[in-house]
């Protein structure tokens, strides 16, 4: 079997980290968070409630792509990343398309806003949620998962789809 990257995507507050970590526990694949690839200036900007421009995102996406390309040479990995636009997903999957599996954690604005308002210790403020929904381009070739389900059911659905 060819190694792959399982990208778990969605807007902030959709549960990417929770689902990614639990999927990692169930599958044994290493877990990585795209947030860890941001430069300090980008985190500070988002923390101040200012959305990043595409020009600020490109180096971040390239860093993630380079990391993923190296890692999947030896193992399957899970990486959570908002990847809201098709052009971002294209950058992340460039030259490794056949090894990329996309999981979209889909939810409505009010559910996710409620989650964001309850979340502590995260740099992404709830005030940026609307900009994420405005940017979001729903992927055509992804496993779509409704975030209303409990995490265990979401993991079951993802694993079943990956095994098809």
**Which of these, 107, 84, 100, lies nearest to 15 by C-alpha position?**
107
C-alpha separations of 163 from 26, 156, 157, 160 in Å: 14, 11, 10, 5
Q: What is the pLDDT of residues 107-157, one digit of tens each?
A: 999 999 988 887 666 555 667 788 889 999 999 999 999 999 999 999 999
Q: What is the pLDDT of residues 19-48, one digit of tens each?
A: 999 999 999 999 999 989 987 888 788 777
Q: Hey, what domains does the chain have and what are their CATH numbers?
A: 5-163 (3.40.50.300)
| Confidence (pTM) | 0.90
Percentages helix, strand, coil for the chain, rounded to the nearest 5? 50, 15, 35
Q: Among 10-19, 50-59, 130-139, which stretch is predicted with the lowest mean pLDDT? A: 50-59
């Amino acid at each position: 079997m060819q190694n792959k990257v399982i990208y778990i995507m969605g807007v902030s507050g959709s549960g990417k980290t929770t689902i990614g970590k639990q999927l990692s526990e169930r599958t044994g694949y290493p877990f990585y968070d795209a947030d860890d690839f941001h430069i300090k200036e980008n985190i500070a900007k988002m923390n101040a409630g200012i959305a990043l421009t595409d020009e600020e995102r490109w180096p971040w996406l390239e860093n993630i792509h380079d990391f993923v390309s190296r890692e999947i040479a030896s193992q399957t990995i899970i990486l959570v990343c908002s990847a809201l636009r098709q052009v971002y997903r294209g950058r992340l999957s460039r030259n490794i398309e056949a090894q990329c599996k996309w999981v979209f954690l889909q939810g409505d604005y009010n559910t996710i806003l409620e989650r964001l308002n309850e979340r502590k210790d995260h740099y992404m403020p709830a005030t940026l949620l609307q900009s994420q929904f405005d940017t979001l381009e729903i992927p055509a070739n992804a496993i779509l998962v409704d975030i209303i389900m409990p995490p265990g059911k979401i993991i079951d659905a993802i694993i079943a789809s990956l095994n098809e």
